[in-house]
Every structure is written in C-alpha cells, then in structure tokens.
Amino acid sequence: MYKGMYVAATGAVMRSNELDSVANNLANVSTSGYKRTTFSSRTYPILEGLAQQPQTIYPDARAMTFFGKASIDHSAGVMQTTGNAFDFAISGSGFFTVEKNGQLFYTRNGSFALDRDGTLVTPDGYRVLDRGNQPITIDTTEGKLSVSYDGNMYLINQDTNTNTLVGELKVSNLRNIQNAGGSLYTGTEEEATDFEVIQGSIERSNVNPVRELVGMIEASRQYELAQKVIQNFSDLAQRSVTDIASMKA
C-alpha cells in the first residue's frame, strides 16, 4: 500500500515541477532570446548510478517510480527585423557574453544600447563583453556602427572614408547550460564557430503559447489524478488502522 502511495507521490512531484516549467515558459513568451524549457519523465531504473545501488532510496519501488528531467530547447526563435543598429541576433549556435558585478552570463537577447559612458549594455544593465572579456565602448560621434557577420564592430566615418574597429562581440557555445532567469544563462563556455551575427534584428522567444497551454492542462490533470490516488491510499490506511484497533478492542 505504501509503495503505491510513494509512486503516486513521485508522480505528483514530477507534474508539479512540469507545471512550474510551463509557467516559466509562458512568463517569457515575449522575452527576446529566451529558450523554452522542456520536461520529460523517465522510470526509476534508468537513472544514472541508481541501478548499482537500488536499495539506497526505496527498495520496493524500483520499477515503478518516476523521474522528471528538465532540458533547454535550443531551436531558433523567429528573427524580427528592427532596423536598430544596436539590435543583434545570432543565426546558428552561440550566446553573447555579458557581465554584471563580476559574474559572467550568456544570452541570445541582443537588444543592446549604450549607457551614459558609451558602454554597450543589455536592457538590464549587464555589460556586453568582447573576445577578451572586456566591456565594449563605442563613441557614435566618430561614425556609424556596422557589425560584420563574425561579430566585428566598426565605426564607419563617411567624411573621412575610414572604418575603425571598435569591438569584437564574443559569441560562445555552452556546456552544462542552466537558465539564470529570463534570457540569461550560465554554463561552461566553448568557442563558437558556426554562427552569424545579424545587425538590426533580434531573436524572439521560441515559446509557442498554445503548445504550452495544452501542456499545462495535461500536467494539471495528471497532478490532480496523483493527488486523488494519494488521498485514496491515505483513506485506506486510516481505515486499516481503525479496523485493527477495533479488532483488538
């Protein structure tokens, strides 16, 4: 009986986590560069490391309990043309590198601007870094900004007919990627090579709200079902205790 309650409880926890994931996706439908989180379930025996030590968690529930795993969907969002010289999208793999308070983050939200000091920043004030992990500073009085596909940033001065390199956008691939809120991510960076930086465009979120709502409805139903099963087992246990007590009396 308690094995069945345990199975239902793990199912309820899994569906609760899935609902949290869907809610976060829906909250970021309009967040440029956001990548949706997917949630998949697996049965207990295929968890790494547990097959060798099956008695350490719950010996009687091995083939029945469930595990939910969250992962990030890296499929591309729609490219939206803005015409803004400080908007950038990445076609292909990779993330822009940004920094705040000494901590590095990564994002595909290339909606940048210049702060009062001429430093390239995100809407939340994170400084955009170059390939040497240094902030990029641009003096637009010296010319018009133009960015090549490899992320090199130039100021074009038509009066003097000169192109001056003012920065090199750092684009990195990530291993062990984790969402750090909104379109910010953390992970172990690797050099990105298969990408193009598109100036005057941004990448929209890859969240499909209709699909997420359908997933939310299904997860809610499964969660409610698991709760009912838990309650039924609880009622059964209570009746068993009552019956045993009455027999002893």
- Residues 60-84, mean pLDDT to the nearest whole number: 78
Range of the domain at 91: 79-203
For residue range 15-53, what is the model confidence (pLDDT) as tens digits? 777 888 899 999 999 999 999 998 776 655 544 444 444
Confidence of residue 205 (pLDDT cuts 50, 70, 90): very high
DSSP state for residue 140 in the 8-state scheme? G
Residues 182 and 109 in one domain: yes
Question: Given 203, 218, 240, which residue is the final one in a domain?
Answer: 203
Residues 180 and 101 in one domain: yes
- Locate 17 and state its tokens: 């986590």
Residues 39 and 138 in one domain: no
Total domains, the chain: 2
Report pLDDT for 57.
45
Residues 199 and 235 in one domain: no
Residues 83 and 189 in one domain: yes
Query: What are the Cα distances from residue 195, in Å, to 90, 94, 169, 198, 247?
Result: 6, 7, 12, 10, 75
Residues 190 and 239 in one domain: no
Report pLDDT for 58.
46
For residue range 95-141, what is the model confidence (pLDDT) as tens digits? 999 999 999 999 999 999 999 999 999 999 999 999 999 999 999 99
Report pLDDT for 54.
45
Residues 166 and 231 in one domain: no
Residues 176 and 135 in one domain: yes
Instruction: Read off the pTM.
Output: 0.76
For the chain, strand residue ranges (E) read 37-43, 66-72, 79-81, 87-92, 95-100, 103-107, 110-111, 113-114, 120-121, 127-128, 144-147, 152-157, 162-168, 171-181, 184-191, 195-199, 201-203
Report pLDDT for 19.
84
- Residues 207-212, mean pLDDT to the nearest whole number: 94
For residue 246, how many other CB atoms are within 10 A of its CB? 8
Residues 179 and 130 in one domain: yes
Query: What are the Cα distances from residue 140, in Å, to 59, 119, 157, 188?
Result: 67, 11, 10, 33
Residues 146 and 221 in one domain: no
Report pLDDT for 234.
65
Residues 129 and 224 in one domain: no
Report pLDDT for 34.
96
Q: Is 207 helix (H, G, I), strand (E, B) or coil?
A: coil
Residues 59 and 94 in one domain: no
